[in-house]
Amino acid sequence: MTRIETMAVHGGRDDLAELGVHAPPIDLSTTYPVPDQALGGEALHAWADGAASASSPVYARLHNPTVGRFEQALAQLEGTEAAVSFGSGMAAVTAVLQAACVMTAKPHVVAVRPLYGGTDHLLSSGLLGVRTTYATADGVKDAIGPDTGLVVVETPANPNLDLVDIAQVVRQAGGVPVMVDNTFATPILQNPAAFGATYVLHSGTKYLGGHGDVMGGVVACAERLAGPLRQVRILTGAVLHPLGGYLLHRGLATLPLRVEAAQKSAATLAQRLAEHPAVEFVRYPRPDGVQLRGSGAMIAFACHADPTDVVRGLRLITPAVSLGSVDTLIEHPAALTHRLVPSVAREECGVPSNLLRVSVGLEHVDDIWDDLHRALCDADYVKASLKNSLDLVVAH
Per-residue pLDDT reduced to its tens digit, 47-58: 999 999 999 999
Q: What percent of the chain has pLDDT above 70?
A: 95
What is the residue extent of each domain of the chain?
A: 256-395
The answer, yes or no, to whether residue 154 has pLDDT greater than 50, is: yes
Of 89-93, 244-248, 276-280, 335-339, the range with the lowest mean pLDDT is: 335-339
Residue 171 to residue 193: CA distance in whole angstroms: 13
Task: Provide the H-helix boundaries in 31-165.
Answer: 37-48, 65-78, 89-97, 117-125, 140-143
What one-character DSSP code corresponds to residue 270? H
Q: Give the integer Cα–Cα distance in Å for 363 and 162.
A: 26
pLDDT at position 152 over 70: yes
* pLDDT at residue 389 tops 80: no
Q: How confident is the model at residue 395 (pLDDT cuts 50, 70, 90)?
A: low
Stretch 161-169: mean pLDDT: 98
The pLDDT score that the predictor gives to residue 394 is: 46
For the residues 368-394, what does the mean pLDDT come to?
73
From first CA to last CA, the distance across the chain in angstroms is 69
CB burial readout 201-237, b (16+ within 10 A) else e: bbbbbbbbbbebebbbbbbbbeeebbbbbbbbbbeee
The confidence score (pLDDT) of residue 392 equals 47
Q: What is the mean pLDDT of the chain?
A: 95
Range in 37-41, 217-221, 255-259, 377-381 with the lowest mean pLDDT: 377-381
- pLDDT category of residue 44 using cuts at 50, 70 and 90: very high
Q: H or E segment at 308?
A: helix 307-312
Contact 395, 325 (CB under 8 A): no
The answer as to CATH 1.25.40.10 being correct for domain 256-395 is: no
Confidence at residue 241, expressed as pLDDT on a 0 to 100 scale: 98
- Indicate if the pLDDT at residue 390 is higher than 50: no
Question: How many whole angstroms separate alpha carbon 287 and alpha carbon 321?
Answer: 25
User: Closest Cα partner for 141 from 178, 106, 115?
Assistant: 178
Determine the pLDDT at residue 380. 65
Residue 17: pLDDT band by 50, 70, 90 thresholds?
Answer: very high
Bridge-based pairing state of the strands 329-331 and 318-319: parallel
Looking only at the bridges linking them, the beta strands covering 298-303 and 355-359 are antiparallel
Summarize pLDDT for 234-261 with one digit per residue, the tens.
Answer: 999 999 999 999 999 999 999 999 999 9
pLDDT of residue 2: 85
Mean pLDDT, residues 120-148 taken together: 97
Q: Per-residue confidence at 377, pLDDT binned at 50, 70, 90?
A: very high
For residue 88, what pLDDT is reported?
98
| Residues designated as active site | 61, 116, 181, 206
Residue 345, pLDDT score: 85
Q: How confident is the model at residue 385 (pLDDT cuts 50, 70, 90)?
A: low
Whether residue 194 contacts residue 170, with contact meaning beta carbons closer than 8 Å, is answered with no
- In this predicted model, what pLDDT tens digit does every residue of 56-105 receive, in sequence order? 999 999 999 999 999 999 999 999 999 999 999 999 999 999 999 999 99
Q: pLDDT class for 393, splitting at 50, 70, 90?
A: very low
Q: How far apart are CA 322 and CA 117, in angstroms?
A: 12
